[in-house]
Amino acid sequence: MKKGLYLLSAVALLLTACGKKTEEVKVKVEKKPVVISTVKDEEVSDLYMTDGTLLPQKRVNHTLDSQGTVKVILKKNGDSVKKGEVVVKFTDAAAEASYESARASFEASKYNLESAKKNFNKFSTLYDKQMISEVEFLNYRNTYTDALGSFSSKKAMLQDSKSNFEKLTRKSELTGVIGNLNLKVGNVVEPNTTIFTVVNEKNMDITVDFPGKWLNSLKVGSPAKVIVSDLGEKEFTAKIKEINPIADPETKKFPVKVEIINKDGILKDGMYAKVIIPTEKRDGIVVPQESVFIRDLLSYVYKVKDGKAERIEVVTGAVAKPNIEIVKGNLKVGDKVVSDGIFGLSDGDEVTINN
């Protein structure tokens, strides 16, 4: 009996519920705030990136032509030096003796030349007056000629030995900064050994290999950019200084020299750098770089249309900071894309513009 009553009650409740009007539940969807930018046309160019080593435009390795023993060191690495300033003094008995011997020989030949010249002039006058024979005249002329040849030879020997002797007091041949000076007093230095280097780092060069397909787009003075990793990826403005029209036989690329003005003096000989060179220019459509985002290795932008965000796959091209070229995708000049507010945004979301 009780079981039957329970069943009747359940049916009654069900009929009562069905009779009531179903109430609709509405969920309010909040719009996502975004900042938008306009797709526009702009002149862009591809960028060629390579690397190389910075070198100062002025650099001199100083050597000795003869052996020498270090006597005095007047500078150290990193010191500034002026052209003609003494850096190291050497001694060398052989060079000193050679210089003294050459100087004595030169003085003797100079005296002989003067004496032979006087005799030649004197007897030349007598010969003109027919007061001496031709044989006597020719003897004095030959003596003068021999003396002149000997003088020239001794003078050249003196100049060579003097140069070697004077280099024992080694002076800088360039105004700049000292480097590679690793000598100690008493060191014996062999001929043609680099004893120190002077660099002037006011202007720096970096030579890179450039592809032939873009060579005609370059000219002397064209802009470039240099990024130095040793300085925390610091960027420097540069320009094309020289273009070699002959390709390297191994790389098949063309050596291009890039010049950087080292205003602050922070660029140093041997620093590694990346070089970015713009190539052929063309018209393209661009969007702000921050409008492009990556998902699953593909590039996308959100185009805003009728108050909603539409996710569009794109292919990017050249970077023209602060913009980036779009070479493929359902975009045209004048379209609006999200440039801020991408995080948390999904395809089809309603947006409110906060520009």
Q: What is the DSSP string of 306-327?
A: TTEEEEEEEEEEEEETTEEEEE
Domain ranges of the chain: 32-44+283-353, 49-58+200-281, 93-167
Q: Whole-prediction pTM value?
A: 0.61
Residue 61 has pLDDT above 70, yes or no: yes
What is the per-residue pLDDT for 29? 65
- Token code pair at residue 61: 């390795």
- Beta strands per DSSP E along 211-297: 223-228, 234-243, 254-261, 272-288, 293-295
Q: Give the pLDDT band of residue 27 (cuts 50, 70, 90).
A: low
* Average of per-residue pLDDT across 296-315: 95
- Token code pair at residue 55: 């070198």
What is the per-residue pLDDT for 44? 87
Residue 168 has pLDDT above 60, yes or no: yes
What is the per-residue pLDDT for 120? 93
What is the per-residue pLDDT for 2? 42
CATH architecture of structural domain 49-58+200-281: Beta Barrel (2.40)
Residue 1 has pLDDT above 80, yes or no: no
* Average of per-residue pLDDT across 109-135: 93
Residue 7 has pLDDT above 50, yes or no: no
What is the per-residue pLDDT for 102? 94
Residue 47 has pLDDT above 90, yes or no: no
**Using CB atoms within 10 A of its CB, is residue 215 exposed (0-12), middle (13-18) or buried (19+)?**
middle
- The CATH code for residues 93-167 is 1.10.287.470
Q: Give the pLDDT band of residue 64 (cuts 50, 70, 90).
A: confident
What is the per-residue pLDDT for 217? 87
What is the per-residue pLDDT for 301? 97
| 157 CB-near residues (< 8 Å, 6+ apart) | 102, 105, 106
* Average of per-residue pLDDT across 138-162: 94
Residue 348 has pLDDT above 90, yes or no: yes
Residue 173 has pLDDT above 80, yes or no: yes
What is the per-residue pLDDT for 26? 53
Main-chain phi, psi angles of 315, to 5 degrees: -120, 125
Residue 193 has pLDDT above 80, yes or no: yes
Residue 11 has pLDDT above 50, yes or no: no
Closest CA to 208 of 278, 273, 279: 273
- Token code pair at residue 63: 């050597």
CATH 2.40.10.480 fits 32-44+283-353, yes or no: no
| 239 CB-near residues (< 8 Å, 6+ apart) | 221, 222, 223, 224, 258, 259
Q: Is the dihedral of CA 337, 340, 343, 344 positive or negative?
A: negative
Cα–Cα distance for residue pair 94/158, rounded to 1 Å: 14
Mean pLDDT, rounded, of the chain = 89
Q: Give the pLDDT band of residue 355 (cuts 50, 70, 90).
A: confident
What is the per-residue pLDDT for 46? 83
Residue 154 has pLDDT above 60, yes or no: yes
Closest CA to 194 of 11, 332, 60, 55: 60
Cα three-residue angle 336-338-342, rounded to 5 degrees? 165
Q: 3-class DSSP state for residue 105?
A: helix
What percentage of the chain carries pLDDT values higher than 90? 75
Q: Give the pLDDT band of residue 15 (cuts 50, 70, 90).
A: very low
Closest CA to 252 of 205, 215, 220, 226: 215
Residue 168: C-alpha distances to residues 61, 66, 267 (Å) = 15, 9, 32
* Average of per-residue pLDDT across 101-112: 95
Q: Give the pLDDT band of residue 109 (cuts 50, 70, 90).
A: very high
Name the more confident of 20 and 68. Answer: 68
* Average of per-residue pLDDT across 43-72: 91
Q: Give the pLDDT band of residue 282 (cuts 50, 70, 90).
A: confident
What is the per-residue pLDDT for 5? 38
